[in-house]
């Protein structure tokens, strides 16, 4: 009996994954599901037929041009809530594919639903395609420094979830350097263009790493510092994270690590801080 329940759960998990990939990427190939779940091509084909007949009638059609299945124009998810965070959870849990989705479905266990920040599939799909095919895109974009919508040409290489929002790491042909573009700030669907995309190896901050040594905020009391050390299983009062230089500031935000003197003074908001050596490294990285 338990085996039957397990089998049904695994099938449902594969069906949810089929729906998420089709919705957010605009294309589903059987080898993708085979690789994620270690099942045969025949099993994936069976799952797709099941999805198309029992759960979402004729929602996926085979397209020989893309060697896979594509969602019909009126496609609407039925097994998931169409949140970008569900798509993120699928790939964040590849080492144990069911964990992230179990947290959202099992009784007595809850997870905070992060906002999708107006991230739309019609924006994400061409970004993912451009990353895979090393293409360039024309985009209409607004930023905090340039809040008026304007046109840029970018060459994306990686879609990144920082823990709070989605952005794409891309070469900006206007600024002639690699930058982060917040996905929710794209004004319309990106359009492919015939501009040569630089190699990802040229993104120095993406290729190089930095070691962040983190310790309890020194403004905390001795008792509070011991609690923080226990929370993070620190050794000799600190722990280390090795991250891509391009993702260092996102990592610090995610862990609520104080960097400035003003932040150190706000120990209740920033229970962690960088040690002196890491702080110097970060300032050199951010300000040259």
Q: Express each pLDDT in 139-191 by its tens digit.
A: 999 999 899 999 999 999 998 888 778 899 999 999 999 999 999 999 999 99
pLDDT for residue 288 is more than 80:
no
Q: Distance between CA 86 and CA 106 in Å, rounded?
A: 15
Q: What is the pLDDT of residue 100?
A: 37
Domain ranges in the chain? 2-105, 121-203, 208-287
3-state secondary structure the chain: CHHHHHHHHHHHHHHHHHHHHHHHHCCECHHHHHHHHCCCHHHHHHHHHHHHHHHCCCCEEEECCCCEEEECCCCCCCCCCCCHHHHHHHHHCCCCCCHHHHHHHCCCCCCCCCCCCCCCHHHHHHHHHHHHHCCEEEEEECCCCCCCCEEEEEEEEEEEECCCCEEEEEEECCCCEEEEEEHHHECCCCEEECCCCCCHHHCHHHHCEEEEEEEECCCCCHHHHHHHHHHCCCECCEEEEEEEHHHHHHHHHHHCEECCHHHHCCCCCCCEEECHHHHHHHHHHHHC
Q: Distance between CA 28 and CA 30 in Å, rounded?
A: 7
Read off the pLDDT of residues 251-274 as tens digits, 9 standing for 90 and up: 999 999 998 889 999 999 999 999
Q: Which residues contact 173 (CB under 8 A, 6 or more apart)?
A: 136, 152, 153, 154, 155, 195
Four-point Cα dihedral 20, 21, 23, 24, nearest 10: 100
Burial zone of 169 (CB within 10 Å; 0-12 exposed, 13-18 middle, 19+ buried): buried
pLDDT for residue 90 is more than 80:
no
pTM for this entry: 0.78
**Tokens encoding 256:** 């609520």
Read off the pLDDT of residues 18-72 as tens digits, 9 standing for 90 and up: 999 999 989 999 998 998 889 999 999 999 999 999 999 999 999 999 899 999 9
Q: How many CB atoms lie within 10 A of CB 118?
A: 11
pLDDT for residue 101 is more than 50:
no
The yes or no reply on domain 2-105 and CATH 3.55.50 is: no
């Amino acid at each position: 009996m338990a085996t039957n329940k397990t089998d049904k759960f695994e099938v449902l998990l594969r069906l949810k994954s089929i729906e998420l990939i089709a919705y957010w990427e605009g294309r589903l190939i059987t080898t993708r599901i085979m690789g994620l779940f270690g099942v045969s091509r025949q099993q994936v084909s069976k799952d797709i037929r099941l999805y198309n007949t029992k759960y979402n009638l004729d929602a996926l059609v085979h397209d020989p041009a893309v060697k896979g299945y594509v969602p019909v124009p009126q496609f609407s998810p039925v097994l998931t809530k169409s949140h970008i965070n569900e798509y993120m959870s699928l790939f964040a849990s590849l080492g144990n594919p069911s964990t992230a989705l179990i947290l959202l479905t099992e009784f007595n266990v809850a997870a905070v639903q992060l906002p999708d920040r107006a991230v739309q599939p019609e924006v994400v799909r061409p970004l993912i395609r451009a990353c895979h095919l090393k293409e360039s895109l024309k985009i209409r974009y607004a930023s905090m420094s340039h809040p008026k919508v304007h046109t840029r040409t970018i060459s994306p290489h990686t879609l990144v979830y920082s823990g709070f929002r989605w952005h794409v790491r891309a070469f900006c042909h206007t600024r002639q350097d690699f930058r982060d573009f917040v996905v929710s700030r794209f004004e319309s669907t990106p359009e492919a263009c015939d501009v040569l995309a630089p190699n990802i190896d040229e993104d120095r901050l993406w290729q190089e790493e930095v070691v962040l040594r983190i310790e309890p905020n020194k403004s905390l009391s001795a008792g509070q510092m011991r609690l923080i050390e226990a929370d993070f299983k620190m050794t000799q009062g600190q722990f280390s994270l090795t991250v891509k230089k391009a993702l260092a500031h996102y990592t610090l935000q995610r862990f609520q690590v104080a960097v400035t003197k003003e932040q150190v003074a706000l120990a209740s908001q920033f229970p962690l801080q960088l040690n002196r050596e890491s702080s110097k490294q970060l300032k050199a990285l951010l300000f040259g």
